[in-house]
Amino acid sequence: MKQFMVLYLMIWICVIFLCGIVHSEKPESVNIGAVFTFDSVIGRVAKAAMEMAVSDVNSDPIVLNGTKLNLIMKDGRCNAFLGSTGAFQVLEQGVAAIIGPQSSAIAHSISQIADAVKVPLISYAATDPTLSSLQFPLFFRTVQSDSEQMAAMANLIDFNGWKEVIVVFLDDDYGRNGVSALSDELENRRLKISHKLALSIHFDLDEITKLLNQTKVFNPRVFVVHINPDPRLRIFSVAHKLQMMTSEYVWLVTDWLAATLYSFSPVNQKSLSIVEGVVGLRQHIPDSSKKRDFVSRWKKMQKRVANTSWNSYGFFAYDTVWAVAHSIDKFLKVHDNITFSLRDNNMVPHTEGIGIQLEKLKTFVNGSDFVNILSLSNFSGVSGQIRFSSDRNVISSGYDVININQMKINRVGYWSNHSGFSVVPPEILAKQKHPRVSVDQKLENITWPGGKTERPRGWVIADNAKPLRIGVPRRASFVEFVTELQDSHKIQGYCIDIFMKALEFIPYEIPFVFKPVGNGKSNPNYDSLVKKIDQNVYDAVVGDIAIVTNRTKIVDFSQPFASSSLVIVAPINSSKSNAWVFLRPFSADMWCIIGASFLMIGVVIWILEHRVNDEFRGPPKKQLVTMFMFSLSTLFKTNSSPEEYAVALRNGPSGGGVAAIVDELPYVELFLSKETEFGIIGQPFTRSSWGFAFQRDSPLALDMSTAILKLAESGELQKIHEKWFCKMGCPGERKSNPKPDQLHLSSFWGLYLSCAVISVVALILFLLRIISQYVGFKQRQKDIVAPSSEQSESHCSRVVVNFFNFIDKKEDAIKKMFTQCDNPHNPN
Ligand SMILES: *[C@@H]1O[C@H](CO)[C@@H](O)[C@H](O)[C@H]1NC(C)=O
Ligand SMILES: *[C@@H]1O[C@H](CO)[C@@H](O)[C@H](O)[C@H]1NC(C)=O
Ligand SMILES: *[C@@H]1O[C@H](CO)[C@@H](O)[C@H](O)[C@H]1NC(C)=O
Ligand SMILES: *[C@@H]1O[C@H](CO)[C@@H](O)[C@H](O)[C@H]1NC(C)=O
Ligand SMILES: *[C@@H]1O[C@H](CO)[C@@H](O)[C@H](O)[C@H]1NC(C)=O
Ligand SMILES: *[C@@H]1O[C@H](CO)[C@@H](O)[C@H](O)[C@H]1NC(C)=O
Ligand SMILES: *[C@@H]1O[C@H](CO)[C@@H](O)[C@H](O)[C@H]1NC(C)=O
Ligand SMILES: *[C@@H]1O[C@H](CO)[C@@H](O)[C@H](O)[C@H]1NC(C)=O
Ligand SMILES: *[C@@H]1O[C@H](CO)[C@@H](O)[C@H](O)[C@H]1NC(C)=O
Ligand SMILES: *[C@@H]1O[C@H](CO)[C@@H](O)[C@H](O)[C@H]1NC(C)=O
């Protein structure tokens, strides 16, 4: 019993001792401050969420066991002055951290104060990206920065293929810096903000009306609205009034709309009809059991306190309190107490008499330690895992893309920085094996304003009273490309046909007028025509405009619709060149050698024959050698007409014309479509093309390019080409003979003629010799047999028969006959 009593006493002493340690080491309570706008869409939710979080922390046995978390709230309104005053007031009470503010503008000024006393500022709603700058080392954020939101927005614009947007924003730190981030992100994707419409902080309906009404003359129809939550949705009610919620418009909004809409009570949901077709972003909050518990608790509370609305900022506010609580807990494990010193605050001016005693502000001792602990936070909150990146922003879970359709808020997909758009939540994608590789960018169907599901073009020719001014050259030669008809003043031609056809592939009406340029007597100068686009005299030029470097510097060209490489055109059916083609297998040297060798053999034979045969009358007296000179003189002369080309080519270099012409392929093709005796020789020796010229950055250039590519792919371009250039067979086909290397009989008639001439000459020589022999023979015969032969000699047929008999005799016999004749008195 006694022993038991001793044991009991010892345990009791131990308990008292331990409790003494706990009580002496841990402060009873720790203060944290909160400065925000109580009466606002975000503030109402945040207030309730923070109160809930504080009571949860205080009832949690692990975090801050034995220490009460005390939240001191001050209303900053929407005002940097009141916000700063609130910050001073909470700092006076010795707070370890300040939660809030929700407004970026207030955050800028409070950050500087907090920095002076080493108290960190943790915001659940200030999204201004510049707050992450090194200027504010104590600013933390449990909500995604707008730099991320704007990346998502720019991605959404790019994803839908819009090139230019109009931004409506609140002209304060939040709006301006958000838009600046959007501008950077768009620039990275080579898109742009065409107009920035600034709203003042306390904007009214008149101001919005004026602002939106002026956009009717702008071409882009994609609006990005980046303002503060506005329960009256004034901007959209004005847009409705101005007929700007129709199918040609696109309205994209940042997370403010989701925050506004979710805080509507069910009765108020009717006003959703005003934002039908709007597409917005909302911070993505991954599904978790913590989140579901929190939401169900919230709903119960909402029933008790009927006018408490709800939005995702509630999650962030709740987690912010927990992040601070976790950090204080860790801090207290190292440092016994949270203490403040008066040491370092001589930077704060002496200000008595304005109600706040600034000299009472004390510096958080070991505050930088606390900031370190805070930056290493890692716990799972209701909005997901809470961790801070090196720029003190919470590591984000991305965004939901929402679309208001049939008075419901529909989530149509997700966006995250590493996987882009998907219909699967990013945290599930991240768990898959190859999240980056396998993700294809897609969203569910979106219903746009006007109720259509097909994506609006986002760009129109705004003012129908002002059609596009399209310059067209009034050509004087090669008028088939483009010109104005003299009598009817109709503009027509190959280029015009392509332009009109391409317009059919552009899914919207483009009002335009053609403005012919030039006097019709000579072709206009194309460089100055292009310059007129730059000078805003014309919006575009349609015609045979070559795409060359210094033109691309001042205008945007569409995709090329015709190749305009330089080619050589020359006669292809000249009999002269074809008949002697057999000469080509051997070079001129070779032919000289062959000729010389023939000559030499001839000489040798002649010498040999000459020695053995006295009657040999010698070889052919002369040999004809034809030399061919291919003198290539070319015609570089633009603005010539097809008729001039043909005349020059027909005359040939010897007749004052040319042997070949160098010109751009389309002109040559048109020329060849009328002439069949000429063709393209060899390969083109430059590569260039024609396109339509537009003003710099005109979205029409892009649409026209797409249309031209579609024309080319569908074969329409070729059809138009054939219509204009293939009246007498396509010149291209003429050039490419199916069997180009085959030699025809016509190629050899020169050779055959040579043979024939030589043979005939030889035959004639032979005959002459025979005849002379025959005549000589007959003369001798006459001398021997004098009178009897007189009768037969006069008979013609007899002479012929005798002659052929003579020919028929062998050379030897003839020689014998001559020797007989020479010795008539020989007895034999
Ligand atoms: C902790 O510090 C506060 C003042 O900052 C002081 O009021 C409190 O008594 C201290 N608590 C302990 C347990 O030292
Ligand atoms: C919290 O403190 C109480 C006494 O103050 C103690 O009984 C309890 O074990 C502590 N809980 C934890 C988890 O430390
Ligand atoms: C998004 O991801 C890229 C790389 O994929 C990274 O450079 C960038 O910093 C990220 N942006 C944010 C806001 O996390
Ligand atoms: C919009 O502007 C036009 C002129 O640009 C004006 O005629 C019209 O009355 C304005 N509409 C409103 C609602 O202000
Ligand atoms: C509910 O709203 C009314 C007025 O709208 C306000 O007077 C009251 O304080 C609100 N209650 C809560 C708990 O916010
Ligand atoms: C806390 O601050 C005091 C005084 O500034 C300093 O002496 C001490 O080393 C600091 N403690 C830690 C853990 O940094
Ligand atoms: C954060 O905590 C989780 C577990 O709660 C752990 O898996 C993760 O590695 C931690 N991250 C860091 C950066 O410490
Ligand atoms: C989305 O639109 C396409 C065609 O526009 C349609 O085939 C498809 O069924 C739609 N999907 C949903 C989920 O409505
Ligand atoms: C393009 O360069 C040529 C000379 O190379 C010049 O004559 C012409 O004016 C230039 N055109 C433009 C639009 O600068
Ligand atoms: C060559 O020209 C003649 C007339 O000079 C014409 O009959 C013939 O068809 C032409 N041949 C070719 C291949 O064009």
What's the pLDDT score for residue 159?
A: 93
Q: Whose CA is nearest to atom 2 of ligand 6?
A: 366
Among 157-161, 675-679, 808-812, name the one with the lowest average pLDDT.
808-812
Count the Cβ atoms, other than its own, within 10 Å of residue 142.
27
Q: Whose CA is nearest to atom 2 of ligand 4?
A: 213
- What whole-number percentage of the chain has pLDDT above 70? 79
| CB of 551 closer than 6 angstroms to any ligand 9 atom | yes
**Res. 208: pLDDT tops 50:** yes
**Res. 16: pLDDT tops 50:** no
What's the pLDDT score for residue 811?
A: 66
From 23, 25, 337, mutation site for ligand 1 pocket: most ligand atoms within 8 A of C-beta = 337
Q: What is the DSSP letter of 12?
A: H
pLDDT band with cut points at 50, 70 and 90 for residue 20:
very low
pLDDT band with cut points at 50, 70 and 90 for residue 629:
very low
Interatomic CA distance for residues 598 and 52, integer angstroms:
118
Distance 295 CA to ligand 5 centre (A): 21
C-alpha distances in Å from residue 730, one per residue of 656, 670, 727: 29, 10, 7
**Res. 230: pLDDT tops 70:** yes
Distance 417 CA to ligand 3 centre (A): 6
From 525, 526, 527, mutation site for ligand 9 pocket: most ligand atoms within 8 A of C-beta = 527
Structure tokens at 750: 């020169």
The half-sphere exposure of 720 on its side-chain side, counting CA atoms within 13 A, is 23
What's the pLDDT score for residue 399?
A: 96
CB 389 within 8 A of CB 395: yes
CB 675 within 8 A of CB 642: yes
pLDDT digits (tens, 9 = 90+) for 257-315: 998 888 776 656 777 889 999 999 999 999 999 999 999 998 888 776 655 667 889 99
Q: Whose CA is nearest to atom 1 of ligand 5?
A: 307
**Residues sharing a CB contact under 8 Å with residue 136, sequence separation 6 or more, in sequence order:** 108, 111, 112, 115, 121
Structure tokens at 3: 């022993």
Nearest to 357 by CA among 339, 345, 367: 345
Exposure string for 421-433, b = 16+ CB within 10 A, e = fewer: bbeebbbebeeee
**Res. 129: pLDDT tops 60:** yes
Interatomic CA distance for residues 175 and 55, integer angstroms:
34
**Res. 619: pLDDT tops 60:** no
**Res. 22: pLDDT tops 50:** no
Distance 63 CA to ligand 7 centre (A): 18
What the chain holds in terms of domains, given with CATH numbers, is 29-144+293-386 (3.40.50.2300), 146-288+397-438 (3.40.50.2300), 468-564+689-722 (3.40.190.10), 567-578+629-687 (no CATH), 747-822 (no CATH)
Chain position carrying tokens 């300040």: 98
**Res. 222: pLDDT tops 50:** yes
| CB of 61 closer than 6 angstroms to any ligand 2 atom | yes
DSSP string for residues in 342-377: STTGGGS----SSS--GGG--EETTHHHHHHHHHT-
Name residue 224's beta-bridge partners: 167, 252
Measured N-to-C along each axis, helices 716-725 and 665-672 cross at an angle, to the nearest 10 degrees, of: 50
Q: Identify which ligand lies nearest to the alpha carbon of 64.
A: 2
What's the pLDDT score for residue 53?
A: 95
Interatomic CA distance for residues 550 and 441, integer angstroms:
38
Distance 373 CA to ligand 2 centre (A): 23
Return phi, psi of residue 122, to 5°. -125, 115
| CB of 411 closer than 6 angstroms to any ligand 9 atom | no
Q: What is the DSSP letter of 459?
A: B
Across 773-778, average pLDDT: 82
**Res. 671: pLDDT tops 60:** yes
Interatomic CA distance for residues 158 and 623, integer angstroms:
81
Q: Whose CA is nearest to atom 7 of ligand 8?
A: 445
Name residue 415's beta-bridge partners: 399, 421
From 44, 305, 307, mutation site for ligand 5 pocket: most ligand atoms within 8 A of C-beta = 307
pLDDT band with cut points at 50, 70 and 90 for residue 321:
very high
Q: Whose CA is nearest to atom 4 of ligand 3?
A: 418
Interatomic CA distance for residues 294 and 303, integer angstroms:
14
To which H or E segment does residue 755 belong?
helix 749-784
**Positions of E strands within 288-432:** 340-341, 363-364, 378-381, 384-387, 399-405, 408-416, 420-422
Q: Report the mean per-residue pLDDT for the chain.
A: 81
Q: Whose CA is nearest to atom 3 of ligand 1?
A: 339
**Residues sharing a CB contact under 8 Å with residue 531, sequence separation 6 or more, in sequence order:** 554
Across 602-628, average pLDDT: 49
| CB of 337 closer than 6 angstroms to any ligand 1 atom | yes
pLDDT digits (tens, 9 = 90+) for 710-744: 999 999 888 888 888 876 666 555 554 434 444 55
What's the pLDDT score for residue 741?
A: 45
Across 637-654, average pLDDT: 74
Task: Please count the helices (runs of H) and the strands (runs of E) in the chain.
Answer: 28, 29
The half-sphere exposure of 471 on its side-chain side, counting CA atoms within 13 A, is 27
**Res. 348: pLDDT tops 60:** no
Q: Whose CA is nearest to atom 12 of ligand 6?
A: 366
C-alpha distances in Å from residue 176, one per residue of 181, 198, 392: 9, 9, 21
The half-sphere exposure of 276 on its side-chain side, counting CA atoms within 13 A, is 16
Distance 6 CA to ligand 2 centre (A): 26
Distance 64 CA to ligand 1 centre (A): 15
Q: Which residues line ligand 3 (CB under 6 A)?
A: 147-148, 417-418
**Greatest mean pLDDT among 46-50, 63-67, 177-181:** 177-181
Q: Identify which ligand lies nearest to the alpha carbon of 335.
A: 6
Interatomic CA distance for residues 572 and 581, integer angstroms:
13
Chain position carrying tokens 């430059």: 686
Q: Whose CA is nearest to atom 11 of ligand 4?
A: 213
**Res. 358: pLDDT tops 90:** no
Q: Identify which ligand lies nearest to the alpha carbon of 412.
A: 8
Helix (H, G, I), strand (E, B) or coil at 413: strand
From 184, 417, 418, 437, mutation site for ligand 3 pocket: most ligand atoms within 8 A of C-beta = 417
| CB of 789 closer than 6 angstroms to any ligand 2 atom | no
**Residues sharing a CB contact under 8 Å with residue 647, sequence separation 6 or more, in sequence order:** 657
pLDDT band with cut points at 50, 70 and 90 for residue 800:
confident
Nearest to 414 by CA among 404, 399, 402, 427: 399
What's the pLDDT score for residue 332?
A: 92
| CB of 339 closer than 6 angstroms to any ligand 1 atom | yes
**Residues sharing a CB contact under 8 Å with residue 260, sequence separation 6 or more, in sequence order:** 41, 229, 230, 231, 233, 311
What's the pLDDT score for residue 490?
A: 87
Interatomic CA distance for residues 191 and 463, integer angstroms:
23
Distance 270 CA to ligand 5 centre (A): 22
Distance 445 CA to ligand 8 centre (A): 6
Q: Whose CA is nearest to atom 2 of ligand 9?
A: 550
**Residues sharing a CB contact under 8 Å with residue 421, sequence separation 6 or more, in sequence order:** 155, 156, 159, 401, 413, 414, 415, 441, 442, 443
Q: Which amino acid is at 29?
A: S
Interatomic CA distance for residues 25 and 6, integer angstroms:
28
Interatomic CA distance for residues 229 and 17, integer angstroms:
55
**Res. 580: pLDDT tops 90:** no
**Res. 460: pLDDT tops 70:** yes
Count the Cβ atoms, other than its own, within 10 Å of residue 373.
18
**Res. 618: pLDDT tops 50:** no
**Res. 632: pLDDT tops 50:** no
**Greatest mean pLDDT among 402-416, 610-624, 672-686:** 402-416
Exposure string for 223-256, b = 16+ CB within 10 A, e = fewer: bbbbbbbbeebbbbbbbbeeebbbebbbbbbbbb
What's the pLDDT score for residue 357?
A: 58
C-alpha distances in Å from residue 799, one per residue of 794, 803, 813: 8, 6, 19
Across 488-498, average pLDDT: 89
Cis bond upstream, residue 101 (ω within 30): yes
Count the Cβ atoms, other than its own, within 10 Å of residue 614.
6
Distance 694 CA to ligand 10 centre (A): 45
**Res. 338: pLDDT tops 80:** yes
Across 376-394, average pLDDT: 94
Chain position carrying tokens 């004098």: 786
Chain position carrying tokens 């309104």: 77
Q: Which atom of ligand 2 is nearest to the CA of 22?
A: 5
CB 67 within 8 A of CB 28: yes
Size of the chain, expressed as the number of residues it contains? 828
| CB of 438 closer than 6 angstroms to any ligand 1 atom | no
What's the pLDDT score for residue 630?
A: 33
**Greatest mean pLDDT among 343-347, 404-408, 439-443, 444-448:** 444-448
Count the Cβ atoms, other than its own, within 10 Å of residue 793.
13
Distance 22 CA to ligand 2 centre (A): 9
What's the pLDDT score for residue 538?
A: 93
Q: Which class for 342: exposed (0-12), middle (13-18), buried (19 or more C-beta within 10 A)?
A: exposed
Dihedral class, residue 500 (left if φ above 0, else alpha if ψ from -120 to 50, else beta) = alpha
From 405, 411, 445, mutation site for ligand 8 pocket: most ligand atoms within 8 A of C-beta = 445
pLDDT band with cut points at 50, 70 and 90 for residue 148:
very high
**Res. 637: pLDDT tops 50:** no
C-alpha distances in Å from residue 45, one per residue of 262, 268, 532: 11, 17, 59
Higher-confidence residue of 408 and 774: namely: 408
Across 179-203, average pLDDT: 94
Q: What is the DSSP letter of 557?
A: E
To which H or E segment does residue 533 belong?
helix 526-534
CB 411 within 8 A of CB 401: yes
Q: What is the DSSP letter of 269?
A: G
Higher-confidence residue of 469 and 13: namely: 469
Across 143-153, average pLDDT: 95
pLDDT band with cut points at 50, 70 and 90 for residue 461:
confident
Across 646-669, average pLDDT: 82
**Res. 754: pLDDT tops 60:** yes
Across 189-195, average pLDDT: 92
Q: What is the DSSP letter of 698?
A: -
Interatomic CA distance for residues 395 and 381, integer angstroms:
12
| CB of 442 closer than 6 angstroms to any ligand 8 atom | no
From 550, 554, 556, 557, mutation site for ligand 9 pocket: most ligand atoms within 8 A of C-beta = 550
pLDDT digits (tens, 9 = 90+) for 523-561: 889 999 999 999 999 999 999 999 989 899 999 999 999
**Res. 362: pLDDT tops 90:** no
Q: Identify which ligand lies nearest to the alpha carbon of 390.
A: 3
| CA triple 592-597-602, angle to 5 deg | 125
